[in-house]
Structure 1
Amino acid sequence: MGQIQLPPSPPATQPSLSASDELPSYDQVTQTPIEPYRDDPLSPPATAYNIPGHQNWNSIRPKKRTAGAVSLDPSLSSDTATLESFVESQTCLPPRPCLIINGTHRESRKSGNETKTENVTDFDFRIDLTRTILRWGQDEQHPTERWAYTTVVSDYDGQKAYRGGRFPTRSKKGGRIALPESDEGERLMDLENGEDIPGIKGWCERFCNDPAPVKSFTFRRNLHGFDASPMRTTLTSQIRSTGYQGHISITPAIANGVVRIYSPHWINTLRNNTFAYWTCIILQLWILTWPVIWFMERRYEVIRSEWFSSQNIADPSLPGGSGRIYAGGHSEEAAAELWAPVVREAAWQGKCHGEILGEAEIGELRRQGIERREAVPQGASELVSRGQAMLGVMGIRSIGGFAV
């Protein structure tokens, strides 16, 4: 029975997308991907993220609405075995890094004697980068590299976390979690040396046995090593090549970064009701309801999964003796080139549904984008681009053009 060795932490200068600012030094649980690796790096995950009793996340910020999933399934807050099985399956699923791609322009309209200027959305869609930048499934290119691990809070570890109270708390005494020799790498022990040191099963048992009527159990996924800047630059250039003159916004986001289980109390049911939520926001009732919820709720946030899209490795053959490898086999620049035909064509067609592009939609957009580019002679495309640039200088907006 040996002590767990944590994998190296991300470099301090490494960019990251995280569901929270603080990364506690939790103990590790090894995890194994559950879905076979697929060759198409643009293919989004299918139904693996479906959870029982799924509800949309209510928020006044559109970006946060897709950042998490909520469930009020009674079995998840009352049955330890069901919750443990659910959490363990969730640790095998990576976060879903996305790019929100939006194009708008300002348009003036006359209303009587007044002229009003408003924003008009030309395109608004998302692309899922999970299979492009993350390793999800079996890949023998770098079989010894660790790209993900799960961490669990232990008693007396001194880390700040929600352990069933209203506030995140710390403990004074140090502690550790060990793996059983016969079950190495699969789950944590719940008892060690006669002390109550919970692992996944232990925390699930504490949550389900908690008599508090209003309680929640939160599991988080964090992403490290991803820099969206190269993709933003390349994809913006590709959209501009269509002659588009409006404002382009490309921002990173994480879908399904948080999974939260609520007990089926009427307060939790009401707080996750869309109509009730917006009624509280519009009528300013949150000033009264939020303190009541805070006082009654018992929160558990003790389990996290850390995923890496890139890592630095020692390699004597490279300048400086080190280099960077990528989980999905593609750097951010290469990933942008893979997505370029799809993004360019989606912007050209004015996709405005605001949702993640589906697998069939991606395939069709990629085919149309490649065909459109090959159909336009180079000389003609340059002439059209110059003409569209002149129209932009003259204040005449052009949504479309020849995709080059």
Structure 2
Amino acid sequence: MSEYQLDNKPPPVEAPPTFEDSQAASSSSTDAAHLGPPPDAAAAPKYVEHPLEYTYIPPGGEEPPPEFTPYEAEYFISGKEIVTHDPHLNEDGEALYRFLLSQSTTRPDYRVHLRGTHTEHRTRSVTRTDSNGHTRHETETYTETVTDFDFYIDLTPQIVHGPVHWSLPDAEPAYRGQMFMQVDALYDPTNAEPAGGDPEGQPMHLGRRKATKQEKSAAKDRKAMRKECGLPPWVAPAPESWFEQTGSGAPPAAARVLESSKTLRQWADEYCASDKVLKEFTYTKVVYGWNTANLTQALQAAIRSVYRHNIHVSFDLALHKIRVRADNTLARTLSNRCLKFLLCVTLVYPFLWLWRRFSARGGGRWEPPGASPPFAPGGGARWQQAPTGEAMALVGESEGEWFQRWEGAIRDAVWRRRRSGEALQPFVPQPYFYPAPHRPLALGMC
């Protein structure tokens, strides 16, 4: 377990070795042309923690749900999503609420995918025939992308059971029953007067309106910031100065919790009350707690010490979306990929799309609520505040500690050109053959 305080700065670390320094100690054989020297734990790059990781993130989300009996609905896996057309979920808000709560306790599949490629220019002989029937042989040059390594590491065990249930704030653009994004706002952006009351202090009510282009763009940027910095979806990353302080050494101020006027149960009731033919309710599991932007840089630096070509790092999430769709023949047909493809080929689907988009009883989407399981070992890890009032960071294994535990296995897998669909296991030293010029293969240990 690790615990960080705001007034403690991360210790200075040495810069990772350059590829030229590493390549100088490597063999000049053809097989090792695209790789550096064998992995050396002493020369491995160190993870640098940023001041943003020492920020106190207050708890948020909804109150924990009461004890309940989950509703066992029928569902199926479509691609990387969970889809259901259960009729009871489209009629009873309580059943839908319990179904979503039971599904939220299952951790989504989360993995980091590492891949390295390089481009080779090759030649080949081709035979061409001109319009006069004359045949000639030519040599053409083409480019081919070669994959040197391709593997992934399973991050699912790092996720804690018991997610926090949340719903987006009223001012955040989201799908709230229409086929376009909306916000629940007190004021109409085209009118300075309050939308639900008068300027003399009378009570004002929320008014749902279409989100503006600027609001959707700002919401997209905030979502990207939360994902990269490991912030939960109920935390406001604004103001922008909060992120500008990350390189100054001074810790940013505490984050602000966003609040919604509706709970998950209320959204479920609103969905069930709708009579739209192609309605859809989406419940999303958002993983938070790790700064994936910093972790990506650390992974690239570790791989760069033994590899000099193109590096691709991505964090893939699966089974994190639960889609509840209407129980009718048309909705089930559109959920079938083969039948949907046939509708596209026969040019029927474009008309269905227009009807769903513009008809009052066509389609409707609800996507404001979700659940957020955090990264931490074991259970009970939370963002906490010390009794003295000092801001504390997440208690548990940070992304830096995870990286230090896995960097040896990652560099070894890159050196061995691992290409496998199975998850990489923790590092265990194994013998390998290191070719060198003018001498037999030497047996060493990494």
Q: TM-score, normalised by structure 1?
A: 0.56
1:185: which partner in 2? none
CA deviation map 1:331-363 (0-9, x unaligned): 21211133335545655363343xxx4xxx55x
Please tell me whether the aligned partners of residues 117 and 148 of structure 2 are also in contact (alpha carbons under 8 angstroms).
Answer: yes
Is structure 2 residue 165 aligned with structure 1 residue 150? yes
Aligned 1:5-404 pairs, distance under 5 A: 28-30=62-64, 52-57=74-79, 66=80, 68-93=81-106, 96-112=109-125, 113-132=139-158, 134-136=159-161, 149-152=164-167, 160-167=173-180, 168-170=182-184, 172=186, 173=204, 199-239=263-303, 244-276=307-339, 288-295=351-358, 296-309=362-375, 322-326=391-395, 329-344=396-411, 347=414, 348=416, 350-353=418-421, 357=422, 362=424, 365-366=425-426, 369-372=427-430, 375=431, 404=446
Structure 2 CA distance, aligned partners of 1:278 and 1:257?
Answer: 25
CA deviation map 1:149-181 (0-9, x unaligned): 312479xx6665433233324264558xxxxxx
Segments of 5+ residues of structure 1 without an aligned counterpart are 1-12, 16-25, 35-49, 58-65, 138-147, 176-196, 388-400
Please tell me whether the aligned partners of residues 344 and 403 of structure 1 are also in contact (alpha carbons under 8 angstroms).
Answer: no
Q: Deviation of residue 240 (structure 1)?
A: 5.3
Please tell me whether the aligned partners of residues 72 and 263 of structure 1 are also in contact (alpha carbons under 8 angstroms).
Answer: yes
More relative contact order, 1 or 2 (CA 8 Å, 6+ apart): 2
SS in 2 for 1:371: coil
Q: Deviation of residue 116 (structure 1)?
A: 0.9
Pair 1:51–1:124, CA change in 2 (3 A): farther
SS in 1 for 2:406: helix
Please tell me whether the aligned partners of residues 164 and 298 of structure 1 are also in contact (alpha carbons under 8 angstroms).
Answer: yes
Please tell me whether the aligned partners of residues 97 and 254 of structure 1 are also in contact (alpha carbons under 8 angstroms).
Answer: yes
Structure 2 CA distance, aligned partners of 1:282 and 1:345?
Answer: 48
Structure 2 CA distance, aligned partners of 1:287 and 1:207?
Answer: 25
Structure 2 CA distance, aligned partners of 1:104 and 1:339?
Answer: 21
Please tell me whether the aligned partners of residues 290 and 398 of structure 2 are also in contact (alpha carbons under 8 angstroms).
Answer: no
Give the number of equivalent residue pairs: 289
CA deviation map 1:204-242 (0-9, x unaligned): 34423432221101112223442124433444455456x
Q: Deviation of residue 117 (structure 1)?
A: 0.5
Pair 1:111–1:159, CA change in 2 (3 A): closer
SS in 2 for 1:126: strand
Segments of 5+ residues of structure 2 without an aligned counterpart are 1-50, 54-59, 126-138, 187-203, 207-260, 377-381, 438-442
Q: Which amino acid aligns with 2:78?
A: N
Please tell me whether the aligned partners of residues 166 and 264 of structure 2 are also in contact (alpha carbons under 8 angstroms).
Answer: no
Pair 1:201–1:136, CA change in 2 (3 A): closer
Pair 1:403–1:205, CA change in 2 (3 A): farther
Larger mean CA deviation between 83-92 and 213-222 belongs to 83-92
Structure 1 CA distance, aligned partners of 2:353 and 2:403?
Answer: 42
Structure 1 CA distance, aligned partners of 2:183 and 2:104?
Answer: 24
Pair 1:128–1:206, CA change in 2 (3 A): same
Flag the structure with larger Rg: 2
Structure 2 CA distance, aligned partners of 1:238 and 1:77?
Answer: 50
Structure 2 CA distance, aligned partners of 1:52 and 1:72?
Answer: 8
Structure 2 CA distance, aligned partners of 1:152 and 1:218?
Answer: 12
